[in-house]
Amino acid sequence: MARRLTLDFFKTEAASGLFLAIAALSALVLANSPWADAYFGILKTDIPVRIGAWSLTENVSEWIKEGLMAIFFFVVGLEIKYEILRGELSNPKKLALPVLAAVGGMVGPALVYLGVTGALGGDPRGWSIPVATDIAFAVAAFALVASSLPASLRVFLLTLAIVDDLGAVAIIAAVYSDGVTLPPLLGAGVVLAALALIGRFQLSFVWWVLGFLLVWGFAMEAHISTSLAGVATALVVPINAPKPGVEGPLKNFMETLHPWVAYFILPLFAFSAAGFSFAGLSPLALFSPVALGIALGLFLGKQIGVMGLAWLACRLKLGVLPSNARWSEMYGVSLLCGVGFTMSLFLGALAFPGAPVEIETEVKLGVIAGSLLSGLVGMLVLSRAAAWRKRCREDDAVLDAA
């Protein structure tokens, strides 16, 4: 069952990579076309929501970031819980290497960013931006070139990316959830406790939706990132079925929501976040401290951190390489971890709230440049590794025939 869910996850994520690419490219085209004013105008349009005495007004971009992306983090939370209880993360021996590699993949980019911005006099607040890995794009890139590579590498990449997402959530909680208001936070806790208590019984979909919305609303009122509301709600969803012969709520939610997240929510976020105008933009902008720090953090920091900690873990016998995998293939996977894209853009919006257009552009330019470079080089390395394996199999077949 664990393998089936993992394969389904990869199939959906790989296919949705095309939607993400189209959404991001469309945003860039629109932002630099005669329809640019309409594009940015729609994203900045305020939409009020009122339920009784409670009301909230946000623009379209914020509703996508704080509203729909909470559903994305809910699905991520479900995936994390499933992997811990039933999947790859349930085996400590399989868990050690990707976890340690993920830690390196978070520390390395942050240090590279701080080093670059420190040397060039840039803003250190963006240190978290290159820490993230975009699961959808990374897996899609892997799927394009790695059909001949061991399936264990796919599992390693997925496990590392899940741990990386958990680290991103922890960063959001520790760094970007300041000014917390206590009463709404307690309200969210009460709702979560109630869901955990009665969730073992067979609750209808409507009750889970209501519970999620309540936790989300309390998080907004408490000035806590709604991504935490999504993950926290996911962690109280039961994995076991209420009675024999039916699916458990966790698996049911994963299968129902994952396609919506992959094909609608993430592309919509990419469409709203990736667009920026090239007007007056010099190629030298990529060499601004913020843009350069992000790009190098994603490209250099990720591969150094992931490979460095993976190698150290193997040397210290704390972990082992994925089954039948080679270090050159691990290097290709470590490069793909530098595809930050939507996750890095999300953290960028949190790191520089209300920043001038110049800073927003530098963030987006750095994320896109670092992600593209990491993805293309990673795909090149893995395609060469796959070609080598294919030649070896053909040579073995010729020898066997002789």
- Predicted pLDDT of residue 15: 62
- Predicted pLDDT of residue 291: 95
**How many C-beta atoms surround the C-beta of residue 184 within 10 A?**
17
Sorting pLDDT into bands at 50, 70 and 90, what band is 212? very high
| Global model pTM greater than 0.85 | no
Q: What is the pLDDT of residues 221-248, one digit of tens each?
A: 887 778 888 888 999 998 887 677 677 8
- Predicted pLDDT of residue 7: 45
Sorting pLDDT into bands at 50, 70 and 90, what band is 8? low
What value does the mean pLDDT take over residues 175-199? 84
Sorting pLDDT into bands at 50, 70 and 90, what band is 10? very low
Residue 250: which of 80, 7, 72, 136 has the closest Cα? Answer: 80
Domains plus CATH for the chain? Answer: 2-177+225-401 (1.20.1530.10)
- Predicted pLDDT of residue 26: 93
